[in-house]
Structure 1
Amino acid sequence: MLNKKYPFDPSLKHHFIIAFGLAIWIFVFLYFTEPLDVSEFQKSEKLIYLPLYGLLGAFCYLVFLPIQNYIHKKNDQNWFVKSEILFFLIFILVSIVIARIFYLYVIVLGEQNPYTLWYHLKTVLIPAFSTILPIIIFGRFAFGKYKIKQTEAQKIEIKGEGNYEGLRLFFKDVVCIQSSDNYVEVFYLSGTELKKSLIRNKLSVLADEFPQLLRTHRSYLINPFHFSQWKTANSKLFVLLSHHIEVPVSRTYQKDVKTVLNSTTI
Protein backbone atom coordinates (compact mmCIF):
# COMPACT_ATOMS: atom_id res chain seq x y z
CA MET A 1 0.00 0.00 0.00
CA LEU A 2 2.73 2.48 0.96
CA ASN A 3 4.67 1.66 -2.23
CA LYS A 4 1.65 2.33 -4.46
CA LYS A 5 2.09 5.23 -6.90
CA TYR A 6 0.31 8.44 -5.93
CA PRO A 7 -0.79 11.27 -8.28
CA PHE A 8 1.89 13.96 -8.20
CA ASP A 9 2.73 17.10 -10.15
CA PRO A 10 6.34 18.33 -9.80
CA SER A 11 5.49 21.73 -11.32
CA LEU A 12 6.69 24.49 -8.98
CA LYS A 13 4.08 26.82 -10.49
CA HIS A 14 1.24 24.59 -9.31
CA HIS A 15 2.72 24.21 -5.84
CA PHE A 16 2.97 28.00 -5.55
CA ILE A 17 -0.72 28.15 -6.49
CA ILE A 18 -1.49 25.69 -3.66
CA ALA A 19 0.60 27.78 -1.24
CA PHE A 20 -1.17 30.99 -2.32
CA GLY A 21 -4.57 29.37 -1.92
CA LEU A 22 -3.53 28.11 1.50
CA ALA A 23 -2.50 31.62 2.61
CA ILE A 24 -5.84 33.08 1.47
CA TRP A 25 -7.80 30.28 3.14
CA ILE A 26 -6.00 30.70 6.49
CA PHE A 27 -6.61 34.46 6.48
CA VAL A 28 -10.31 34.13 5.56
CA PHE A 29 -10.88 31.34 8.09
CA LEU A 30 -9.28 33.26 10.95
CA TYR A 31 -10.88 36.58 10.03
CA PHE A 32 -14.47 35.36 9.89
CA THR A 33 -14.49 32.58 12.50
CA GLU A 34 -12.32 34.38 15.07
CA PRO A 35 -11.20 31.29 16.98
CA LEU A 36 -9.97 31.81 20.56
CA ASP A 37 -7.99 35.04 21.05
CA VAL A 38 -8.40 36.29 17.47
CA SER A 39 -11.59 38.02 18.63
CA GLU A 40 -9.47 40.07 21.04
CA PHE A 41 -7.54 41.69 18.18
CA GLN A 42 -8.54 45.15 17.07
CA LYS A 43 -9.52 45.47 13.41
CA SER A 44 -6.15 47.00 12.50
CA GLU A 45 -4.34 44.17 14.33
CA LYS A 46 -6.36 41.56 12.44
CA LEU A 47 -5.23 43.05 9.14
CA ILE A 48 -1.61 42.80 10.33
CA TYR A 49 -1.41 39.47 12.14
CA LEU A 50 -3.91 37.32 10.25
CA PRO A 51 -2.26 37.80 6.81
CA LEU A 52 1.03 36.90 8.53
CA TYR A 53 -0.52 33.64 9.71
CA GLY A 54 -1.51 32.98 6.09
CA LEU A 55 1.99 33.74 4.86
CA LEU A 56 3.42 31.45 7.53
CA GLY A 57 1.21 28.61 6.28
CA ALA A 58 2.35 29.21 2.71
CA PHE A 59 5.99 29.36 3.81
CA CYS A 60 5.69 26.09 5.74
CA TYR A 61 4.33 24.45 2.59
CA LEU A 62 6.97 25.87 0.24
CA VAL A 63 9.94 25.15 2.51
CA PHE A 64 9.57 21.42 1.83
CA LEU A 65 9.56 21.70 -1.98
CA PRO A 66 13.36 21.25 -2.47
CA ILE A 67 13.21 18.06 -0.36
CA GLN A 68 10.11 16.97 -2.27
CA ASN A 69 11.90 17.40 -5.62
CA TYR A 70 14.91 15.48 -4.30
CA ILE A 71 12.70 12.54 -3.25
CA HIS A 72 10.93 12.64 -6.63
CA LYS A 73 14.21 12.48 -8.57
CA LYS A 74 15.66 9.81 -6.28
CA ASN A 75 12.60 7.62 -7.01
CA ASP A 76 13.18 7.94 -10.80
CA GLN A 77 10.47 10.60 -11.21
CA ASN A 78 7.96 8.50 -9.23
CA TRP A 79 5.87 9.52 -6.22
CA PHE A 80 4.41 7.00 -3.80
CA VAL A 81 1.86 6.96 -0.97
CA LYS A 82 4.75 6.81 1.52
CA SER A 83 6.29 9.91 -0.14
CA GLU A 84 3.02 11.82 0.31
CA ILE A 85 2.77 10.74 3.95
CA LEU A 86 6.37 11.87 4.53
CA PHE A 87 5.52 15.26 3.03
CA PHE A 88 2.59 15.80 5.40
CA LEU A 89 4.56 14.66 8.46
CA ILE A 90 7.33 17.15 7.69
CA PHE A 91 4.80 19.88 6.84
CA ILE A 92 2.95 19.40 10.14
CA LEU A 93 6.15 19.31 12.19
CA VAL A 94 7.64 22.40 10.56
CA SER A 95 4.32 24.24 10.81
CA ILE A 96 3.99 23.52 14.54
CA VAL A 97 7.51 24.78 15.26
CA ILE A 98 7.13 27.97 13.19
CA ALA A 99 3.60 28.72 14.45
CA ARG A 100 4.77 28.30 18.05
CA ILE A 101 7.74 30.64 17.53
CA PHE A 102 5.49 33.21 15.82
CA TYR A 103 3.01 33.04 18.70
CA LEU A 104 5.65 33.47 21.42
CA TYR A 105 7.83 36.10 19.78
CA VAL A 106 5.29 38.15 17.79
CA ILE A 107 1.74 37.69 19.07
CA VAL A 108 2.31 37.59 22.85
CA LEU A 109 5.83 39.04 23.11
CA GLY A 110 6.20 40.67 26.53
CA GLU A 111 2.85 39.41 27.81
CA GLN A 112 2.45 37.19 30.86
CA ASN A 113 1.03 33.68 30.87
CA PRO A 114 1.16 32.68 27.20
CA TYR A 115 -0.44 29.38 26.21
CA THR A 116 1.53 26.31 27.19
CA LEU A 117 2.70 24.19 24.26
CA TRP A 118 0.17 21.45 25.02
CA TYR A 119 -2.76 23.88 25.34
CA HIS A 120 -1.64 25.68 22.19
CA LEU A 121 -1.54 22.36 20.31
CA LYS A 122 -4.86 21.09 21.64
CA THR A 123 -6.95 24.23 21.27
CA VAL A 124 -5.35 26.08 18.33
CA LEU A 125 -2.93 24.16 16.14
CA ILE A 126 -4.65 20.76 15.89
CA PRO A 127 -8.07 22.32 15.06
CA ALA A 128 -6.32 24.56 12.54
CA PHE A 129 -4.69 21.58 10.83
CA SER A 130 -8.09 19.88 10.58
CA THR A 131 -9.23 22.74 8.31
CA ILE A 132 -5.93 23.28 6.47
CA LEU A 133 -4.92 19.73 5.54
CA PRO A 134 -8.03 18.94 3.42
CA ILE A 135 -7.27 21.99 1.26
CA ILE A 136 -3.68 20.83 0.65
CA ILE A 137 -4.66 17.19 0.11
CA PHE A 138 -7.30 18.17 -2.47
CA GLY A 139 -4.99 20.63 -4.25
CA ARG A 140 -2.07 18.21 -4.51
CA PHE A 141 -4.29 15.32 -5.63
CA ALA A 142 -6.12 17.43 -8.24
CA PHE A 143 -2.91 18.79 -9.77
CA GLY A 144 -1.41 15.27 -9.69
CA LYS A 145 -4.38 13.85 -11.62
CA TYR A 146 -4.18 16.74 -14.10
CA LYS A 147 -0.47 16.02 -14.65
CA ILE A 148 -1.18 12.33 -15.30
CA LYS A 149 -3.82 13.21 -17.92
CA GLN A 150 -1.41 15.63 -19.62
CA THR A 151 1.35 13.02 -19.62
CA GLU A 152 -0.88 10.27 -21.04
CA ALA A 153 -2.04 12.62 -23.81
CA GLN A 154 1.59 13.05 -24.93
CA LYS A 155 2.17 9.31 -25.36
CA ILE A 156 1.84 7.23 -28.50
CA GLU A 157 0.32 3.76 -28.57
CA ILE A 158 2.00 0.96 -30.49
CA LYS A 159 -0.87 -1.45 -30.95
CA GLY A 160 -0.83 -5.17 -31.55
CA GLU A 161 -3.34 -7.27 -33.42
CA GLY A 162 -4.50 -8.91 -30.19
CA ASN A 163 -7.05 -7.23 -27.96
CA TYR A 164 -4.63 -6.78 -25.06
CA GLU A 165 -1.40 -6.21 -26.93
CA GLY A 166 0.26 -2.83 -27.12
CA LEU A 167 2.57 -0.28 -25.54
CA ARG A 168 1.94 3.32 -24.49
CA LEU A 169 5.20 5.25 -24.61
CA PHE A 170 6.60 8.71 -25.06
CA PHE A 171 7.87 8.93 -28.63
CA LYS A 172 11.32 9.94 -27.40
CA ASP A 173 11.55 6.67 -25.43
CA VAL A 174 11.16 4.50 -28.55
CA VAL A 175 14.67 3.58 -29.77
CA CYS A 176 13.91 1.27 -32.69
CA ILE A 177 11.53 -1.41 -33.93
CA GLN A 178 12.66 -4.66 -35.54
CA SER A 179 10.56 -7.01 -37.64
CA SER A 180 10.41 -10.63 -36.45
CA ASP A 181 8.25 -12.83 -38.68
CA ASN A 182 4.63 -11.92 -37.85
CA TYR A 183 5.75 -9.84 -34.85
CA VAL A 184 7.71 -6.68 -34.20
CA GLU A 185 10.19 -6.22 -31.38
CA VAL A 186 10.04 -2.75 -29.85
CA PHE A 187 13.18 -1.47 -28.13
CA TYR A 188 12.37 1.34 -25.70
CA LEU A 189 13.61 3.13 -22.60
CA SER A 190 12.05 2.82 -19.18
CA GLY A 191 13.86 5.45 -17.15
CA THR A 192 17.50 4.76 -18.06
CA GLU A 193 16.99 1.05 -18.67
CA LEU A 194 16.63 -0.41 -22.17
CA LYS A 195 13.72 -2.82 -22.54
CA LYS A 196 12.10 -4.69 -25.41
CA SER A 197 8.63 -6.01 -26.02
CA LEU A 198 7.29 -8.41 -28.66
CA ILE A 199 4.02 -7.33 -30.30
CA ARG A 200 2.03 -9.07 -33.03
CA ASN A 201 1.98 -6.55 -35.86
CA LYS A 202 3.69 -5.72 -39.16
CA LEU A 203 6.54 -3.28 -39.56
CA SER A 204 4.90 -1.74 -42.63
CA VAL A 205 1.76 -0.95 -40.60
CA LEU A 206 3.80 0.84 -37.92
CA ALA A 207 5.81 2.69 -40.58
CA ASP A 208 2.57 4.12 -41.99
CA GLU A 209 1.17 4.87 -38.53
CA PHE A 210 4.32 6.62 -37.26
CA PRO A 211 5.99 8.45 -40.17
CA GLN A 212 8.33 10.16 -37.71
CA LEU A 213 10.12 6.80 -37.41
CA LEU A 214 12.80 6.29 -40.07
CA ARG A 215 13.00 3.16 -42.23
CA THR A 216 16.63 2.02 -42.54
CA HIS A 217 16.06 -1.55 -43.66
CA ARG A 218 13.16 -3.78 -44.60
CA SER A 219 13.36 -5.13 -41.03
CA TYR A 220 14.05 -1.93 -39.07
CA LEU A 221 12.51 1.37 -38.07
CA ILE A 222 14.57 3.76 -35.94
CA ASN A 223 13.88 6.88 -33.94
CA PRO A 224 16.25 9.60 -35.28
CA PHE A 225 16.30 11.08 -31.78
CA HIS A 226 18.56 8.21 -30.65
CA PHE A 227 21.07 8.39 -33.51
CA SER A 228 24.64 8.35 -32.22
CA GLN A 229 27.03 7.79 -35.15
CA TRP A 230 27.68 6.02 -38.44
CA LYS A 231 29.54 2.76 -38.76
CA THR A 232 30.92 0.94 -41.81
CA ALA A 233 31.88 -2.74 -41.74
CA ASN A 234 32.54 -5.08 -44.69
CA SER A 235 31.30 -2.38 -47.11
CA LYS A 236 27.98 -2.25 -45.27
CA LEU A 237 26.55 0.81 -43.56
CA PHE A 238 25.14 0.80 -40.03
CA VAL A 239 23.78 3.37 -37.63
CA LEU A 240 24.65 3.23 -33.95
CA LEU A 241 21.83 4.21 -31.64
CA SER A 242 21.79 4.90 -27.90
CA HIS A 243 22.54 1.93 -25.63
CA HIS A 244 24.91 0.56 -28.32
CA ILE A 245 22.16 -0.71 -30.60
CA GLU A 246 23.51 -1.36 -34.10
CA VAL A 247 21.05 -1.19 -37.03
CA PRO A 248 21.86 -1.96 -40.69
CA VAL A 249 21.11 0.55 -43.44
CA SER A 250 20.25 -1.06 -46.77
CA ARG A 251 21.14 0.59 -50.11
CA THR A 252 17.46 1.20 -50.83
CA TYR A 253 17.14 3.58 -47.86
CA GLN A 254 20.68 5.00 -47.60
CA LYS A 255 19.99 8.32 -49.33
CA ASP A 256 16.89 9.13 -47.28
CA VAL A 257 18.49 7.95 -44.04
CA LYS A 258 21.63 10.06 -44.56
CA THR A 259 19.54 13.11 -45.42
CA VAL A 260 17.41 12.83 -42.28
CA LEU A 261 20.16 11.85 -39.83
CA ASN A 262 22.72 14.33 -41.09
CA SER A 263 20.15 17.12 -40.76
CA THR A 264 19.41 16.11 -37.14
CA THR A 265 23.11 16.37 -36.18
CA ILE A 266 23.75 19.79 -37.71
Structure 2
Amino acid sequence: MKHTLTLSAKELADSLLLTWLKAPCNLLASVKNRITLTLFCGGFSFLFMYIFSPFNMNQWYEGGPQSVTGVFGIFALCGMAGLTISQFLLIRLKGPRPLTHIQFMAWFLGEAMLIAVIVNIVNVSIHDYLQYSWSEYTDTLRYAFGVMILPYSMALGWFYAAQLKSKTTEKEKETALHIRDEYDKLSLSLAPSNLLLLKAEDNYVHIFYLNGSVVKKELIRSSLKKLEPQLSGLGFSRSHRSYMVNLSRVILFKKNAKGHYLLIDGLEDVTIPVSTSYLSDFVQRFTPAC
Protein backbone atom coordinates (compact mmCIF):
# COMPACT_ATOMS: atom_id res chain seq x y z
CA MET A 1 0.00 0.00 0.00
CA LYS A 2 1.44 3.36 -1.01
CA HIS A 3 1.45 6.27 1.39
CA THR A 4 1.47 9.84 0.15
CA LEU A 5 3.07 12.47 2.34
CA THR A 6 1.29 15.80 2.20
CA LEU A 7 2.36 18.99 3.92
CA SER A 8 0.08 21.72 5.13
CA ALA A 9 0.75 25.29 4.07
CA LYS A 10 2.19 26.05 7.52
CA GLU A 11 4.46 23.00 7.46
CA LEU A 12 5.65 23.90 3.97
CA ALA A 13 6.36 27.49 5.04
CA ASP A 14 8.25 26.24 8.11
CA SER A 15 10.28 23.87 5.96
CA LEU A 16 11.19 26.61 3.48
CA LEU A 17 12.09 28.99 6.31
CA LEU A 18 14.33 26.37 7.92
CA THR A 19 16.03 25.71 4.59
CA TRP A 20 16.61 29.45 4.08
CA LEU A 21 18.00 29.91 7.59
CA LYS A 22 20.55 27.14 6.97
CA ALA A 23 21.50 28.41 3.49
CA PRO A 24 24.76 30.42 3.11
CA CYS A 25 24.56 34.21 3.09
CA ASN A 26 27.04 35.71 0.60
CA LEU A 27 25.84 39.31 0.49
CA LEU A 28 28.94 40.56 2.33
CA ALA A 29 31.41 38.11 0.83
CA SER A 30 33.13 40.75 -1.29
CA VAL A 31 35.42 43.40 0.21
CA LYS A 32 33.67 46.02 -1.92
CA ASN A 33 30.31 45.28 -0.32
CA ARG A 34 31.78 45.42 3.19
CA ILE A 35 33.43 48.77 2.51
CA THR A 36 30.18 50.07 1.02
CA LEU A 37 28.22 48.85 4.03
CA THR A 38 30.58 50.59 6.46
CA LEU A 39 30.61 53.92 4.62
CA PHE A 40 26.89 53.91 3.88
CA CYS A 41 25.87 53.08 7.45
CA GLY A 42 28.19 55.78 8.82
CA GLY A 43 27.00 58.48 6.43
CA PHE A 44 23.33 57.56 6.65
CA SER A 45 23.38 57.31 10.45
CA PHE A 46 24.90 60.77 10.79
CA LEU A 47 22.35 62.35 8.46
CA PHE A 48 19.52 60.42 10.13
CA MET A 49 20.51 61.64 13.60
CA TYR A 50 21.19 65.19 12.40
CA ILE A 51 17.94 65.60 10.45
CA PHE A 52 15.44 63.56 12.46
CA SER A 53 17.03 63.46 15.93
CA PRO A 54 15.52 60.07 16.86
CA PHE A 55 14.71 59.54 20.55
CA ASN A 56 15.09 63.34 20.95
CA MET A 57 18.85 62.86 20.91
CA ASN A 58 19.47 66.52 20.07
CA GLN A 59 18.15 67.49 23.50
CA TRP A 60 20.56 65.20 25.35
CA TYR A 61 23.68 67.11 24.45
CA GLU A 62 22.55 70.73 24.29
CA GLY A 63 24.88 72.90 26.33
CA GLY A 64 27.47 70.15 26.57
CA PRO A 65 31.20 70.42 25.83
CA GLN A 66 30.58 69.14 22.29
CA SER A 67 28.08 70.50 19.80
CA VAL A 68 25.14 68.29 18.95
CA THR A 69 26.42 67.97 15.38
CA GLY A 70 29.85 67.02 16.67
CA VAL A 71 28.41 64.34 18.95
CA PHE A 72 26.40 62.86 16.08
CA GLY A 73 29.55 62.82 13.94
CA ILE A 74 31.48 61.04 16.70
CA PHE A 75 28.71 58.44 17.07
CA ALA A 76 28.69 57.83 13.30
CA LEU A 77 32.47 57.31 13.38
CA CYS A 78 32.05 54.91 16.30
CA GLY A 79 29.58 52.91 14.25
CA MET A 80 31.98 52.81 11.31
CA ALA A 81 34.79 51.71 13.63
CA GLY A 82 32.64 48.90 14.99
CA LEU A 83 31.70 47.69 11.51
CA THR A 84 35.32 47.87 10.38
CA ILE A 85 36.45 45.73 13.33
CA SER A 86 33.62 43.27 12.72
CA GLN A 87 33.75 43.03 8.93
CA PHE A 88 37.51 43.09 8.43
CA LEU A 89 39.05 41.68 11.63
CA LEU A 90 36.62 39.53 13.60
CA ILE A 91 35.13 38.02 10.44
CA ARG A 92 38.40 36.13 9.93
CA LEU A 93 37.61 34.03 12.98
CA LYS A 94 34.75 32.28 11.20
CA GLY A 95 37.06 30.53 8.74
CA PRO A 96 36.59 30.11 4.98
CA ARG A 97 32.99 28.88 5.13
CA PRO A 98 30.30 31.55 4.64
CA LEU A 99 27.86 32.33 7.42
CA THR A 100 24.39 30.88 7.12
CA HIS A 101 21.45 33.28 7.29
CA ILE A 102 20.75 32.43 10.92
CA GLN A 103 24.43 32.88 11.79
CA PHE A 104 24.46 36.17 9.93
CA MET A 105 21.53 37.47 11.99
CA ALA A 106 23.39 36.51 15.16
CA TRP A 107 26.49 38.23 13.76
CA PHE A 108 24.50 41.42 13.17
CA LEU A 109 23.33 41.41 16.79
CA GLY A 110 26.95 40.99 17.83
CA GLU A 111 27.91 43.99 15.67
CA ALA A 112 25.23 46.10 17.34
CA MET A 113 26.58 45.09 20.76
CA LEU A 114 30.15 45.91 19.71
CA ILE A 115 29.12 49.32 18.35
CA ALA A 116 27.20 50.01 21.56
CA VAL A 117 30.34 49.23 23.59
CA ILE A 118 32.43 51.67 21.52
CA VAL A 119 29.76 54.40 21.60
CA ASN A 120 29.27 53.92 25.35
CA ILE A 121 33.01 54.23 26.06
CA VAL A 122 33.37 57.36 23.91
CA ASN A 123 30.13 58.90 25.16
CA VAL A 124 31.10 58.54 28.84
CA SER A 125 34.61 59.78 28.07
CA ILE A 126 33.48 63.07 26.56
CA HIS A 127 30.64 63.75 29.02
CA ASP A 128 31.65 64.04 32.68
CA TYR A 129 28.09 63.67 33.93
CA LEU A 130 27.79 60.12 32.52
CA GLN A 131 29.06 56.97 34.23
CA TYR A 132 29.74 53.43 33.10
CA SER A 133 26.83 51.20 34.09
CA TRP A 134 24.79 48.33 32.77
CA SER A 135 21.78 50.62 32.45
CA GLU A 136 23.78 53.15 30.43
CA TYR A 137 25.06 50.39 28.14
CA THR A 138 21.64 48.81 27.51
CA ASP A 139 20.22 52.25 26.66
CA THR A 140 23.10 52.82 24.26
CA LEU A 141 22.56 49.38 22.72
CA ARG A 142 18.87 50.09 22.16
CA TYR A 143 19.58 53.45 20.50
CA ALA A 144 22.50 52.12 18.44
CA PHE A 145 20.37 49.23 17.18
CA GLY A 146 17.51 51.60 16.30
CA VAL A 147 19.80 53.92 14.33
CA MET A 148 21.82 51.30 12.42
CA ILE A 149 19.08 48.79 11.52
CA LEU A 150 17.67 50.97 8.73
CA PRO A 151 20.87 51.73 6.75
CA TYR A 152 22.15 48.19 7.36
CA SER A 153 18.94 46.70 5.95
CA MET A 154 18.95 49.12 3.02
CA ALA A 155 22.53 48.17 2.14
CA LEU A 156 21.71 44.45 2.28
CA GLY A 157 18.67 45.04 0.06
CA TRP A 158 20.86 46.91 -2.39
CA PHE A 159 23.42 44.06 -2.45
CA TYR A 160 20.65 41.47 -2.89
CA ALA A 161 19.15 43.36 -5.85
CA ALA A 162 22.59 43.66 -7.44
CA GLN A 163 23.15 39.93 -6.90
CA LEU A 164 19.84 39.06 -8.56
CA LYS A 165 20.61 41.37 -11.47
CA SER A 166 24.03 39.78 -11.90
CA LYS A 167 22.57 36.27 -11.87
CA THR A 168 19.90 37.30 -14.40
CA THR A 169 22.52 38.84 -16.68
CA GLU A 170 24.70 35.73 -16.45
CA LYS A 171 21.71 33.53 -17.23
CA GLU A 172 20.80 35.67 -20.23
CA LYS A 173 24.38 35.44 -21.47
CA GLU A 174 24.37 31.68 -21.05
CA THR A 175 21.09 31.22 -22.93
CA ALA A 176 21.73 33.81 -25.63
CA LEU A 177 21.83 32.45 -29.17
CA HIS A 178 24.89 33.58 -31.13
CA ILE A 179 24.48 33.33 -34.89
CA ARG A 180 27.67 33.46 -36.96
CA ASP A 181 28.22 33.77 -40.69
CA GLU A 182 30.22 31.38 -42.88
CA TYR A 183 33.45 33.12 -41.81
CA ASP A 184 32.57 32.47 -38.14
CA LYS A 185 32.02 36.17 -37.53
CA LEU A 186 29.29 37.00 -34.99
CA SER A 187 26.31 38.44 -36.86
CA LEU A 188 23.52 38.37 -34.30
CA SER A 189 22.93 37.59 -30.61
CA LEU A 190 19.42 37.15 -29.27
CA ALA A 191 17.21 35.02 -27.06
CA PRO A 192 16.12 31.84 -28.88
CA SER A 193 12.46 32.68 -28.24
CA ASN A 194 12.86 35.89 -30.26
CA LEU A 195 14.06 34.08 -33.37
CA LEU A 196 11.04 33.43 -35.60
CA LEU A 197 12.15 32.16 -38.98
CA LEU A 198 15.18 31.49 -41.15
CA LYS A 199 14.86 31.52 -44.92
CA ALA A 200 17.69 30.43 -47.20
CA GLU A 201 18.27 32.18 -50.51
CA ASP A 202 21.32 31.39 -52.63
CA ASN A 203 24.34 31.76 -50.33
CA TYR A 204 22.50 33.85 -47.75
CA VAL A 205 20.02 33.34 -44.94
CA HIS A 206 17.28 35.81 -44.08
CA ILE A 207 16.74 35.87 -40.32
CA PHE A 208 13.41 37.13 -38.99
CA TYR A 209 13.42 37.98 -35.30
CA LEU A 210 11.67 40.08 -32.66
CA ASN A 211 13.26 43.23 -31.30
CA GLY A 212 10.84 44.13 -28.54
CA SER A 213 7.49 43.92 -30.29
CA VAL A 214 8.87 44.80 -33.75
CA VAL A 215 9.83 42.13 -36.29
CA LYS A 216 13.30 42.73 -37.73
CA LYS A 217 15.10 41.11 -40.64
CA GLU A 218 18.82 40.36 -40.89
CA LEU A 219 20.69 39.01 -43.90
CA ILE A 220 23.83 36.96 -43.28
CA ARG A 221 26.08 34.98 -45.56
CA SER A 222 25.61 31.41 -44.41
CA SER A 223 23.41 28.36 -45.00
CA LEU A 224 20.71 26.47 -43.13
CA LYS A 225 22.93 23.40 -43.27
CA LYS A 226 25.55 25.25 -41.23
CA LEU A 227 23.03 26.71 -38.74
CA GLU A 228 20.80 23.65 -38.31
CA PRO A 229 23.01 21.74 -35.81
CA GLN A 230 23.05 24.75 -33.51
CA LEU A 231 19.31 25.40 -33.70
CA SER A 232 17.79 21.93 -33.82
CA GLY A 233 18.25 21.42 -30.07
CA LEU A 234 16.60 24.75 -29.25
CA GLY A 235 13.14 24.06 -30.61
CA PHE A 236 13.77 24.85 -34.28
CA SER A 237 13.00 22.55 -37.19
CA ARG A 238 13.33 22.54 -40.96
CA SER A 239 9.99 22.63 -42.75
CA HIS A 240 11.51 22.91 -46.22
CA ARG A 241 14.99 22.90 -47.69
CA SER A 242 14.82 26.70 -47.65
CA TYR A 243 12.95 27.27 -44.36
CA MET A 244 13.60 26.67 -40.67
CA VAL A 245 11.00 27.71 -38.09
CA ASN A 246 10.69 28.25 -34.35
CA LEU A 247 8.19 25.52 -33.42
CA SER A 248 6.96 27.43 -30.36
CA ARG A 249 5.86 30.27 -32.68
CA VAL A 250 3.75 28.17 -35.05
CA ILE A 251 0.12 29.33 -34.88
CA LEU A 252 -1.27 27.45 -37.88
CA PHE A 253 -0.47 24.22 -39.74
CA LYS A 254 -2.77 23.81 -42.71
CA LYS A 255 -3.20 21.97 -45.99
CA ASN A 256 -4.43 23.56 -49.21
CA ALA A 257 -4.42 22.63 -52.88
CA LYS A 258 -0.68 23.26 -53.13
CA GLY A 259 0.24 21.25 -50.03
CA HIS A 260 0.90 21.93 -46.36
CA TYR A 261 2.06 25.24 -44.99
CA LEU A 262 2.68 27.08 -41.70
CA LEU A 263 2.01 30.49 -40.25
CA ILE A 264 4.29 31.98 -37.60
CA ASP A 265 3.17 34.35 -34.84
CA GLY A 266 4.37 37.80 -35.84
CA LEU A 267 4.78 36.81 -39.51
CA GLU A 268 1.17 36.08 -40.40
CA ASP A 269 1.66 37.49 -43.89
CA VAL A 270 4.43 34.98 -44.68
CA THR A 271 3.32 31.54 -45.87
CA ILE A 272 5.92 28.92 -45.00
CA PRO A 273 5.77 25.69 -47.04
CA VAL A 274 6.13 22.25 -45.48
CA SER A 275 7.70 19.86 -47.97
CA THR A 276 7.14 16.10 -48.08
CA SER A 277 10.62 15.44 -46.67
CA TYR A 278 9.76 17.15 -43.38
CA LEU A 279 5.98 16.62 -43.31
CA SER A 280 5.93 13.65 -40.91
CA ASP A 281 7.57 15.66 -38.12
CA PHE A 282 4.89 18.34 -38.34
CA VAL A 283 2.00 15.90 -38.65
CA GLN A 284 3.13 14.23 -35.43
CA ARG A 285 3.45 17.56 -33.65
CA PHE A 286 0.46 19.46 -35.06
CA THR A 287 -3.00 18.58 -36.29
CA PRO A 288 -3.47 20.08 -39.76
CA ALA A 289 -6.33 22.57 -39.99
CA CYS A 290 -8.86 21.88 -42.71
Q: Using structure 2 for the length normalisation, give the TM-score.
A: 0.48
2:74 equivalent in structure 1:
none
Retained in 2: the 8 A contact 1:30–1:50?
no
Which residue, out of 174, 181, 196, partners 1:160?
A: 181
Q: 1:238 to 1:133 in 2, by over 3 A?
A: same
2:113 equivalent in structure 1:
31
d(CA) in 2 for partners of 1:237, 1:167: 30
d(CA) in 2 for partners of 1:262, 1:49: 70
Q: 1:27 to 1:235 in 2, by over 3 A?
A: same
d(CA) in 2 for partners of 1:248, 1:40: 88
2:248 equivalent in structure 1:
225
* Greater relative contact order, per chain length (Cα 8 Å cut-off, separation 6+): 1
2:275 equivalent in structure 1:
250
Q: 1:182 to 1:188 in 2, by over 3 A?
A: same
Retained in 2: the 8 A contact 1:226–1:241?
yes
Listed one character per residue, the Cα deviations across residues 163-191 of structure 1 (whole Å, up to 9, x for unaligned) are: 54322222222211111221111112233
Q: What SS does structure 2 have at the residue aligned with 1:210?
A: helix
1:241 equivalent in structure 2:
264
d(CA) in 2 for partners of 1:168, 1:240: 24
- The alignment yields a C-alpha RMSD, in angstroms, of 4.0
d(CA) in 2 for partners of 1:175, 1:250: 19
Unmatched tracts of structure 1, length 5 or more: 1-12, 54-98, 100-123
1:214 equivalent in structure 2:
237
d(CA) in 2 for partners of 1:242, 1:40: 75
Q: 1:259 to 1:50 in 2, by over 3 A?
A: farther
1:142 equivalent in structure 2:
163
d(CA) in 2 for partners of 1:258, 1:40: 85
**Number of residue pairs matched by the alignment:** 174
Task: Please tell me whether residue 193 in structure 1 is matched to residue 275 in structure 2.
Answer: no
Shift of 1:150: 1.7
Percent sequence identity is 20
Q: What SS does structure 1 have at the residue aligned with 2:286?
A: helix
Following TM superposition, the consecutive aligned residue runs of length 4 or more in structure 1 with deviations greater than 6 angstroms are: 20-25, 37-41
Q: 1:248 to 1:36 in 2, by over 3 A?
A: same
Greater Rg by CA: 2
1:171 equivalent in structure 2:
192
Q: What SS does structure 1 have at the residue aligned with 2:219?
A: strand
The answer to which of 204-213 and 223-232 deviates more is 204-213
